[in-house]
Amino acid sequence: MIDINGELLAAADRLLDACVGENLDQLCTLDLRGDGVSRALYQAARDIQRGPLTLAAASALVKRARSGSDVLMLTGFLSPKPYPETDGLVGSAVLAHAIQRACGARPVFACESEVIAPLSAGLRGAGLSVTGDPSHRPDVPHAVVLPFPNGRDAAEAEAERLARLVDASACVAVERPGANSRGQYHLAMGANVSADIAPIDLLYQALAARGVLTIAVGDFGNELGMGALYDVIRAETPAGADCGCGCGGGIACPTHADITVSASVSDWGAYAIAAYLSHLKRDPAVLVGAGAYRRMVDATVAAGAIDGPTRYAVPWVDGVDDGFNAALLEVMRAAVRYPTLKSGHSPIRLFRAGRSLEGN
């Protein structure tokens, strides 16, 4: 006989968590381009994770990103220098706010100098103060944004220094360029942009070697941490195996992450992880609303970011306008809020949970 106060309620909790994760995964993998790439990459990541990707990422962050620790966040795709894409910057700011609010951890960013102003503007739009001094811990919610050098020798030294300096409990890469097997960086369709990109992979790898939790969020496979999908990226994307630049490596990044979140737009994956953090904490304020989102993306563009596909200084992300993105955030908010509007579990959820226990 099933104990309604114990085993059944725990099963109902698991069912709710899984359903929320499934909904957020589906929302962040809407195939607006209509080319099937996002579905192929998501399915590959899902086969590895064996469950909703957003659930895995958010749950790991809650377990590992302890209060008072730092979460190193890597983002910024210069396209071309000195203009970073909005994709990655805005999503990272949304996720940074969520991590700070849900976990009490401090977001710390390392990026090219050209990324600092628009990223900082987005973070302030999310409600976080910004400092460039990791030793300064003001008694307000804040993020740290640090410059990272481009030259290889300087980058190696800085990676080791930051790995020791930052009390990283997790490292999250969102739309961060990832080097291919030849050490080259590319745009999605194969253009080589290595001259513009700082080798921040070195910092990511230094933290991974220390056992720090790594989470990667990407949309086309040329991003840092997408190595678990390496063979699928090479097979399913036009420049995955052959970038056409002459380096012979394709765009696919072989560097792995502990958890890989593949989304149609990298920012959407970051929004969805933030939404799941909101679910875990039962705190709607963890996920920024549409009004805050519009302030964030407007501020990011005003400070120098551009929309990657169009190259215009407009508040779009990966060619998707701010109206759609703001609405998507609100749909994610509803996907988290609606199942818990009433206290306790519904009779239907308890029934389904009981069936799962009987099946075991």
DSSP 315: S
Q: In the Cβ-directed half-sphere of 88, how many Cα atoms lie within 13 Å? A: 31
Q: Token pair of 341, please?
A: 């509007």
Q: What is the CATH number of domain 34-327?
A: 3.90.1640.20
For 85-101, b where at least 16 C-beta lie within 10 A, e where not — what string? bbbbbbbbbbbbbbbbb
Give the model's confidence band at 360: pLDDT under 50 very low, under 70 low, under 90 confident, else very high.
low
Please give the C-alpha separations between residue 125 and each of 48, 94, 113, 119, in angstroms, as whole numbers.
35, 9, 20, 10
How confident is the model over 32-63, as pLDDT tens digits? 999 999 999 999 999 999 999 999 999 999 99
CA triplet 129, 286, 206: central angle to 5 degrees? 65
Q: Kindly tell me if the per-residue pLDDT of 2 is higher than 70.
A: no
Distance CA 301, CA 298 (A): 5
Q: Kindly tell me if the per-residue pLDDT of 1 is higher than 50.
A: no
How confident is the model over 210-224, as pLDDT tens digits? 999 999 999 999 999
Length of the chain: 360
How confident is the model over 291-318, as a mean pLDDT?
A: 97
Identity of the residue numbered 172: V
Cα 150 to chain centroid distance, Å, stands at 23
Angle, in degrees to the nearest 10, between helices 201-209 and 152-165: 40
Helix-strand-coil percent breakdown of the chain, rounded to 5?
50, 15, 40
DSSP 248: S
DSSP 285: G
Count of beta carbons in the 10 Å neighbourhood of residue 236: 22
How confident is the model over 304-331, as a mean pLDDT?
A: 97
3-state secondary structure of 85: strand
Q: Kindly tell me if the per-residue pLDDT of 115 is higher than 70.
A: yes
DSSP 58: H
3-state secondary structure of 255: coil
- Is the whole model's pTM more than 0.95, yes or no? yes
Identity of the residue numbered 123: L
3-state secondary structure of 140: coil
How confident is the model over 121-128, as a mean pLDDT?
A: 98
Q: Token pair of 265, please?
A: 């737009």
How confident is the model over 102-125, as a mean pLDDT?
A: 98
Give the model's confidence band at 3: pLDDT under 50 very low, under 70 low, under 90 confident, else very high.
low
Distance CA 198, CA 114 (A): 11
* Residue 84 backbone phi and psi in degrees, to 5: -80, 150
Q: Are strands 213-218 and 168-174 parallel, antiparallel or unpaired?
A: parallel
How confident is the model over 243-264, as pLDDT tens digits? 999 999 999 999 999 999 999 9
Q: The dihedral of CA 299, 305, 308, 313: what is its sign?
A: positive
How confident is the model over 176-209, as pLDDT tens digits? 999 999 999 999 999 999 999 999 999 999 999 9
DSSP 306: B
For residue 6, what pLDDT is reported? 87
For residue 4, what pLDDT is reported? 60
Distance CA 360, CA 357 (A): 5
Where do we find the tokens 């765009």? 251
CB 224 within 8 A of CB 204: yes
How confident is the model over 69-101, as pLDDT tens digits? 999 999 999 988 999 999 999 999 999 999 999
Q: Are strands 213-218 and 259-262 parallel, antiparallel or unpaired?
A: parallel
Average pLDDT, the chain: 96
* Residue 260 backbone phi and psi in degrees, to 5: -110, 120
